[in-house]
């Protein structure tokens, strides 16, 4: 794997991409499953050095959507055939927030007759909270490890963030019954190709069901951007290689072609699908809130809309010879295999 990441020879990379696409077709097929992502709040108790909505960025206009706004957005996603949504927000762990999420998840499940699948992406939480949200009806959870290199993790986060707590959370999520997703940022300052190989081995060791990885992109109001820049072209290529290698190594997992890929290249997500990804997460957050959820600069605010018929997503996917798996949760085949024993 290391030579694929290190070598800059394009013919060699193309061959790896072709192999990865074959493995994708054999293990998960050519259907692309959608998760409409609703970024419902940008309040965050954390202060990650790379992130635009970190607690200390006082230039951010903080917002939190209301119950009804979130539910209405979810209902449009359901009616337009998404099959599932992701509820994402900055991290908060007070009881009011926990109860708010629990209530929303329950309502969405009830009002869609259990049709809509719900993935949560709400940071580190206690074991009880993970259980409460699972009991309310969420069945997948994304919690990125950001990097599997503990020392690098410590350099990217202030002292009150703890790598071991994050590991424990992944374990608790699995025990609560979720399909577990994780991922890393690619091209972080100080990150080596060996680190990236270890990230893939980390996914394997922890038997992860879903992977969401994207290039690191600077945000000007963050300490990490002030300390060093990022080479976007290089990070884009590296991110594609990471998707391909992850597909080749883990075979039957779900892999997302992330928004960050698309920020670096308008065709970024399609490129991701062509090298092994099988999931797309269109942003369906109401447009008026999108500018305030800027994790990194240049985050696209494209033609996406909760109503798929009003976007050109279907055409873009057909153009690369794939089709959307409408009205389907598109769960990770790996999860079912493990649970069958
Ligand atoms: N560049 C790329 N991805 C970022 N994230 C946060 N900040 C950045 C950035 N500057 C990602 C992290 C986090 C997810 C919600 O967004 O991986 O887990
Ligand atoms: Fe908060 Fe997540 Fe950003 Fe860290 S990466 S500051 S936890 S929103």
To the nearest whole percent, how much of the chain has pLDDT over 90?
82
User: Considering every ligand atom, which ligand is closest to the CA of 295?
Assistant: 1
User: Which residue has its alpha carbon closest to ligand 2 atom 7?
Assistant: 46
Residue 340 is predicted with a pLDDT of 73
Q: What is the C-alpha to C-alpha distance for residues 27 and 243, in angstroms, rounded to an integer?
A: 15
Q: Mean pLDDT throughout 237-255?
A: 97
Query: Ligand 1: distance of its center to the CA of 313 in Å?
Result: 23
Ligand 2: atom nearest CA of 42 is 8
Query: Ligand 2: distance of its center to the CA of 289 in Å?
Result: 17
Q: Which tens digit of pLDDT belongs to each residue from 21-61?
A: 999 999 999 999 999 999 999 999 999 999 999 999 999 99
Report residue 303's pLDDT band, with 50, 70 and 90 as the boundaries: low
What's the pTM? 0.96
**CA distances for 152 relative to 7, 161, 196, angstroms:** 23, 12, 12
Q: What is the C-alpha to C-alpha distance for residues 137 and 134, in angstroms, rounded to an integer?
A: 5
Q: Is the pLDDT at 341 greater than 70, yes or no?
A: no
Residues whose CB falls within 8 Å of the CB of residue 75, separated by 6 or more in sequence, listed in order: 108, 111, 112
Please tell me the CATH superfamily of domain 2-329, with its number: Aldolase class I (3.20.20.70)
Q: What is the C-alpha to C-alpha distance for residues 285 and 37, in angstroms, rounded to an integer?
A: 7
Instruction: Name all residues whose Cβ lies below 6 A of ligand 2.
Output: 44, 46, 48, 51, 53-54, 90-91, 123
More confident residue, 327 or 70: 70
- Report the relative pairing of strands 117-121 and 140-142 from DSSP bridges: parallel
State which of 35, 46, 50 you would mutate to test the pocket of ligand 1, scoring each by most atoms of that ligand within 8 A of its C-beta: 50
Q: What is the C-alpha to C-alpha distance for residues 169 and 98, in angstroms, rounded to an integer?
A: 16
Q: Which tens digit of pLDDT belongs to each residue from 54-95?
A: 999 999 999 999 999 999 999 999 998 999 999 999 999 999
Query: Ligand 2: distance of its center to the CA of 37 in Å?
Result: 16
Residue 254 is encoded by which pair of tokens?
Answer: 């779900």
Q: Is the pLDDT at 336 greater than 60, yes or no?
A: yes
Q: Mean pLDDT throughout 150-162?
A: 96
User: Which residue has its alpha carbon closest to ligand 1 atom 16?
Assistant: 295
Query: Ligand 1: distance of its center to the CA of 95 in Å?
Result: 25
Report residue 309's pLDDT band, with 50, 70 and 90 as the boundaries: low
Q: Mean pLDDT throughout 111-137?
A: 98
Query: Ligand 1: distance of its center to the CA of 185 in Å?
Result: 7
């Amino acid at each position: 794997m290391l030579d694929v990441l290190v070598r800059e020879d394009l013919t060699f990379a193309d061959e790896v991409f072709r192999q990865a696409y074959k493995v994708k077709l054999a293990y998960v097929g050519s259907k692309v499953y959608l998760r409409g992502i609703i970024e419902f709040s940008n309040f965050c108790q954390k202060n990650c050095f790379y992130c635009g909505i970190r607690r200390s960025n006082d230039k951010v206009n903080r917002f939190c959507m209301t119950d009804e706004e979130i539910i209405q957005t979810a209902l449009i996603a359901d009616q337009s055939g998404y099959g599932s949504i992701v509820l994402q927000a900055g991290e908060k762990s007070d009881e009011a927030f926990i109860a708010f999420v629990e209530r929303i998840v329950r309502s969405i499940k009830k009002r869609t007759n259990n049709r809509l699948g719900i993935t949560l992406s709400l940071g580190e939480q206690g074991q009880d909270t993970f259980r409460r949200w699972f009991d309310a009806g969420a069945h997948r959870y994304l919690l990125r490890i950001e990097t599997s290199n503990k020392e690098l993790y410590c350099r990217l986060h202030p002292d009150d963030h703890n790598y071991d707590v994050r590991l424990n959370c992944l374990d608790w999520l699995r025990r609560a019954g979720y399909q577990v997703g994780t991922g890393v940022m690619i091209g972080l300052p100080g990150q080596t190709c060996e680190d990236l190989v270890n990230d893939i081995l980390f996914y394997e060791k922890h038997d992860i069901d879903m992977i969401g990885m994207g290039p690191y992109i600077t945000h000007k109001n963050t300490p990490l951007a002030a300390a060093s820049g990022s080479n976007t072209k290089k990070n884009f290529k590296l991110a594609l290689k990471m998707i391909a290698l992850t597909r080749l190594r883990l075979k039957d997992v779900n892999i997302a072609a992330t928004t960050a890929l698309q920020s670096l290249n308008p065709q970024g997500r399609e490129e991701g699908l062509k090298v092994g990804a099988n999931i797309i997460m269109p942003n369906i957050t109401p447009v008026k809130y999108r500018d305030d959820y800027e994790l990194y600069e240049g985050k696209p605010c494209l033609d996406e809309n909760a109503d798929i018929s009003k976007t050109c997503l279907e055409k873009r996917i057909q153009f690369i010879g794939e089709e959307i798996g409408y009205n389907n949760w598109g769960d990770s085949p790996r999860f079912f295999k493990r649970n069958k024993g």
